[in-house]
Structures are given as C-alpha cells and as structure tokens.
A and B are shown apart, each in its own frame.
Chain A
C-alpha cells in the first residue's frame, strides 16, 4: 500500500524544507507545520479505515523481500498509535504558533518538531528492530534539543538529565539488538518472533527480554528510572511538554514494550503469569510513588510531570493484567491519557504565557480572568481522575473490569481507590491557581492557543460519549492486533507471499 511511507517521509521532508522556507517568508514555517500535521491526521484516519478489513499491511522498503530488506508492518495497533500521534502533534503545533512569540529562531523549533514527529511515526509503523532503534534515536535526539530550546540554565540542566537517562535507555536497547542479532541472525521483527520461539525458556530469552524492559522503562519513565521526567517536562516549552508527556513516553516506552512482549516474544498471561505479575507490580509502584510525590510539588508543570509518571503506571497495569479487557483498557488509557495530559500541559503553557510564573503558591484567581484555560484544565483533570462521561472513566473502567475478570478483585479495588491520589494532586492546582481571589493581572491566551485547548476538550468529551463506537472501530481492533501474539509473524510473511 503506497500510503505507509507517507507517515514518516512527509514530516521528514517537511523538516528539511522548513529551513529553506524560513529564508523566504517566516510565517510559511508554521503554516506548513500545521498543514502537514493535518495531512498526517487524514492519512492516519485512512490507515485506520484500511486496517479494518486487512489485519496487516506490509510495505517493503526498496522492494526487498521481508527477511532481507526493511519492512513496514502496519496493523491496527500501529494505526491507532499513528492516529493519536497525529492528533497530539496537530494540537501542539497549533498551540506553539503564538506561544513561541518570545523565542527567536522559530524555524529550528519547527524543524526539530517535525523530525520528532517523523521519528515517532516511524517507530510505530516499522517492522524492523534496528529501524526502530534509528527512529527512536531520531525522535529522542530532537526531543533532547527541544527541551533545551530556551537555553535557560534550567532548560539546559533538564535537557542534560533527560539526555543522560534517555541515552542509557537507547544504548541498552542497542545492546539488546546486538544480543538478539547474535542469536537469530535477523533484524526483521516477524523473523525474530519465529526464531525466538526455538530458544524459548532459555536464559538467553529472558536476558534479552530483561534488557529490553530495562531500556524501555527508562524511556517510559516508570518509577525506578523516572528521575529525568520531572526535570525535563517543566523545563521544556509547553507544547513540547505536551508532546513529550502526551505521546512520546507512550511511543518510546509503552508501544515498544507492548509490541515486543506480545507480538515478538509472544508472551501471554496464561503461559508466563510471573512476568505479567511483574508488570502489574511495576505499574502499581509507579502509580503510588509518583502519585504521592506529586502531592508535595509546588511547581505547576512538575506536579503534572509526576502525575504523568503515575498515569503511565496505570497503562502498565492494564498490560500486566493481560486479558482482553485489561489490554483494551490499557490501550484506551493511552488515548485518554494522551488527550488529557497534553491538554493539562497546554493549560500550563497558557498560564505561563499569561503570568510568567509556574509556582502554584504565587498564582491565584486565574479562573475568572482566563475562563477558557480554567475550564479546559477542569475537563482535563476530571478526565484524568475518571469522571463518567469523559474518556478517562471508560479507560479506567475497562482496566478494572479486566482485573475482575482475571480474578484480581483486590487489584480492581486498589486501582479504583488510587484515582483518589489523582484527585488530590489535581485539586491542589485547581485550588491554588484557578480558585481563590487575587489581584494578578492576566489576560486570556491568544485565539490559536484557546482553539487547540478547546479542540482537545471536545475530543475528550466526544470520545467519552461515543466510547462504544471508538472501541468498535479503533481500540478493539488494536487490542486484537496485540493479543494476536505470534500470529503477527505469520501475517507479515503471508502478506509477502500473497503479493509476491
């Protein structure tokens, strides 16, 4: 299918076009970025429709047959992820138009922004392990640069910490690729999946898996390895924090873990219950530790960063439960959390833009002066907490349902109870920043910022109300694509033989 290379070729091409356009006419840069991210959104929608009847679309780069050349394997889970990426990228690029006014060298921002999009899009559609590493590094290096974009001491430091942790993760992943290549002599994911089954239950199998889980838990900012996250997110410009928290950690960490564990290593709850219990434990640790730390924060964005770590824990928990409803809930949670957390970070950008401060003790009474921002924050926060008509509720509901079906009643109760933590720390922002009375002079943000926030609010409400349709068309197929397990490799090769 010819549309698949568009996902990374289009933003990559745009990234290199932007410096030239910036010489001709400055506003062309952001017009082009928004246009391209909108086109990506259309292509992703088309991709979702295309994967509805065909379980797997394979594109051969340079027309080399699968085990030799690089293939792009595009199934429903990739379609789901690319749709979410395009939505968040579109909103953040719209938000950054006015937000970037105080900065110079805007074209550098948009170039890196598009490179990051290209990297993330490439990661979710690739069917090749080393290719995945290359795209991971493209996206990661541009995100390190974007965190340091303002060149303030705080941003440099946040970027350096992020870079150190992120590169340990990236290079450990490279080490895991070396191990896997030494054993299987192939880099094609489908081929690796079938080769790894011959060495299943050996020390090698579990070592490789362990190194990969270590690498991606750093990228996903799960709790023992989360230390870069609360420094990098607050330092970055708000649209980038939105992009990082909303989608980057999901693509770098969660997507890769889910894809490799379910489809490549072919683990299921029934065959390896210990491993899935470990994922549940990692998730619970993240939720509790980061949630409790978030209660102590005084910085608006730092609090949101801890909240983000805690929410990623819920996604791991869902994958750890490992039955249909658990995985469905986890995938739904990826969607819910990207929308809600991107929205919350955008409101923080709006507040910073209006007042210049992120300290929630110093801010007060913004609710009256910035109604759109305040109400966007409230809707986003309610979705994170899990109030019924909003999308966050259904995501949590399915995780809890999955826990009950798997026979973990205590886990269902604990998961529901832990939502109170989210309520507690988000109320802290609501109380201090948007309620109370004060004399801070603040104007509501410019039009494009409000549009991007309202766009996400509308999505959160609509997806919540129409959750049945979303599950039927988007999340259900994605869940089946993951739970298909090792059939992934058969699908890739059968597609090849069918069209050869």
Chain B
C-alpha cells in the first residue's frame, strides 16, 4: 500500500512543481514527474509476486502471470507523453527565442 501511496506523492510533487515554479523548464520537468508517477502506478497495478512474464508455453501453464494490459497501457502513455513533452519543449524554446528568458513572471503579454 505504501508503494502505491508513493506514486501519488510523486504525482503531487510534480503538480507542486508545475504550480509553484517560475522557470518554464522546471514546469516541463514537473510534467515528466507526473507522467512517471502514473506510469509507475500502472506498472505496479499489473505486478504479481512470484509471477512470470505473460508468455504462455506448455512448460509454465499452471504458473501465475503478471497482468500484461497495464504494460501495454504504459507503452501507449509513454508515447503520448513523448509527444506532449516534445511539443512543450518546442514551445518553450520558441518563447525563449522571443523573450530571452525562461522566467514566467517576465513573460506577461497576456495578463489581465
């Protein structure tokens, strides 16, 4: 149970970084943390103690297997996270080229 709670704590740390940090790159890192935490949670949900990889052969039929679906989900989620992170870093780079700063407080064309 503690190990599941640690995923949630990691999630909250990421959220904290996104909400409070003023550096754009640190916000992107916060997103990476959230993505890792959710992926880790998925991997833990599929985990079974003393279980094998879910490849059924004639030798291991009576054995326990780990749940393969969360692993498939994590793969998909990683690909999506890759897309998001790439796009986010591109936008951050463009913002940096315009303003020459990563500080969110100095980028304030859209206040009000």
Q: Which residue of B lies closest to A175 (CB)?
A: B38
Residue A403 lies at the interface, judged by CB distance under 8 Å to chain B? no
Q: Which residues of A contact B84 (CB under 8 A)?
A: 137, 141, 163, 167, 170
Residue A487 CB within 8 A of the other chain: no
Q: How far is the CA of A158 from the CA of B84 in the complex (A)?
A: 16
Contact B18 A168 (CB under 8 A): yes
Instruction: Report which of B31, B35, B76, B109 forms a contact with A157, defined as CB distance below 8 A.
Output: B109
Across the A-B interface, how many residue pairs have beta carbons closer than 8 Å?
Answer: 79
Measured CA separation A145–B86 after assembly (Å): 11
Q: 8 Å CB contacts to A: which residues of B35-58?
A: 35, 38, 41-42, 45
Is A148 located at the chain interface by the 8 A CB criterion?
yes
Give A167 to B11 CA distance when docked, in angstroms: 13
Q: How far is the CA of A156 from the CA of B96 in the complex (A)?
A: 10
Interface size on A, residues (CB 8 A): 32
Q: Is A277 an interface residue (CB 8 A)?
A: no
* Cβ of A110 under 8 Å from chain B: no
B87 at the interface (CB under 8 A from A): yes
Question: Chain A residues near B67 (CB, 8 Å)?
Answer: 185
Cβ-neighbour of A158 out of B15, B83, B110 (below 8 A): B110
B80 at interface by CB-CB < 8 Å: yes
B91 within 8 A of A: yes
Pair B87/A154 contact, Cβ less than 8 Å: no
Task: Please give the distance in Å from A204's CB to the nearest CB on chain B.
Answer: 13
* A8: min CB distance to chain B, Å: 16
Chain B residues near A379 (CB, 8 Å)?
Answer: none
Interface residues of A (CB under 8 A from B): 130, 134, 137, 141, 144-145, 148, 151, 153-154, 156-161, 163-164, 167-168, 170-171, 174-175, 177-178, 181-182, 185, 187, 231, 235
Question: Can you list 7 A-B pairs with a CB-CB distance of less than 8 A?
Answer: A157-B110, A164-B27, A164-B31, A167-B84, A178-B38, A181-B45, A181-B73
Q: Which 9 A-B pairs have the closest CB atoms?
A: A182-B45, A137-B80, A153-B98, A178-B41, A231-B110, A174-B38, A171-B34, A156-B95, A156-B94
